Structure 1
């Protein structure tokens, strides 16, 4: 249901029904079988459609992986922007980033699991420049927001490209551990502790 909700947000309407179905079946196969082991034929069988229909929407397997990855990325960004809209200080902004990050992982574990696994493939594949451009834009916008918010002067000593990693690092590590089953407790349970730790790691308090 969570996957369907995400896809409905990203691709609403009856005309996008086949695209959503391909996404849904591909996501499940990539997570179950692995990205390398999953073939277009396997996805076709699950969707009961033609290979041509899949290629029409995504070009090839690399295009499908990238499309799934960017869809997850954009959904995550929507939640982040919603949380940031309620923040006025840099501290509130940093904590909003953590809240949105762990809440999204908790709410979309299959997408988050795929996102972690697919990042390397997208980084090294034909869509690496698009990913780099999206990350650069995201980091620049985040830096501009944080540096101009109240308390933003505390962050001026950090390079813009380093900021997101400094803030999210611990939360990402815990989320990966939860998704892999190494820890049993959802990151959402620890969201406040993770948010406080992120802010303290930046201001040194």
Structure 2
């Protein structure tokens, strides 16, 4: 999957062509120049459109950054849910969460790189409440899955808010290092090891003698 594929999935059709072009050019500039250094005028020049057209779609630069960030989150969630729907056991579900995260980062490195850089800006900016609501909705899907067929009984008694960090935390750390060029091994090459580590961190201990 490349950037164009992600944008076609998220904003299909000819009417969204300008929006996709703005997204594509803005994503490239934000990653190359940095979010703070990139201006609306720079994006306008790359898109060969008007500043008014950009403001019409996104309101301002903060709105464009948030729209890109939310687009990445939604695409990531689509892949996660597809993997999770195919899981039959609790362990396979945890594996699905790790696999989908790692696979998405490797398939979409430019989006993932932007997502990491933009998270602080969106968390502290005018769209922080919308981000909180979106995260709540995304985490609800995980809690609903765990509630099915008594899966929670297979896990340690842990705060629900801690589970995403325990499951994804190690994969997230490795993916960040890979995107930054600090490690060379492909994230997907280690996804099995990362999934095993995630499962060990949350599974309930078997009773003595089992």
Instruction: Settle same-fold status: TM greater than 0.5.
Output: yes
1:28 alignment partner in structure 2: 28
* 8 Å CA contact retained: 1:98, 1:168: yes
CA drift of 1:141 comes to 2.2
2:195 alignment partner in structure 1: 195
1:140 alignment partner in structure 2: 140
Question: What are the within-5 Å matches in structure 2 for residues 7-156 of structure 1?
Answer: 7-149=7-149, 151-155=151-155
CA drift of 1:150 comes to 5.4
Unmatched 5+ stretches in structure 1? none
* 8 Å CA contact retained: 1:83, 1:96: yes
Q: TM-score w.r.t. structure 2 length?
A: 0.94
Aligned residues: 205
Q: Distance in 2 between matches of 1:79 and 1:91?
A: 18
Question: What are the within-5 Å matches in structure 2 for residues 163-178 of structure 1?
Answer: 163-178=163-178
* 8 Å CA contact retained: 2:155, 2:204: no
Unmatched 5+ stretches in structure 2? 206-210
Q: Distance in 1 between matches of 2:146 and 2:31?
A: 35
CA drift of 1:161 comes to 1.2
Q: Distance in 2 between matches of 1:148 and 1:51?
A: 49
CA drift of 1:144 comes to 2.2
* 8 Å CA contact retained: 1:89, 1:150: no
Q: TM-score w.r.t. structure 1 length?
A: 0.96
Q: Distance in 2 between matches of 1:148 and 1:204?
A: 17
Q: Distance in 2 between matches of 1:156 and 1:190?
A: 25
Q: What per-residue deviation string (whole Å, max 9, x for no partner) do you get for residues 106-153 of structure 1?
A: 000000000000000000000000000111121122122123245431
Is the radius of gyration larger for structure 1 or structure 2?
A: 2
* 8 Å CA contact retained: 1:91, 1:151: no
Moved over 3 A (4+): none
Structure 1 vs Structure 2 CA RMSD: 1.3
In structure 2, the CA distance between the partners of 1:143 and 1:156, relative to structure 1 (3 Å rule), is farther
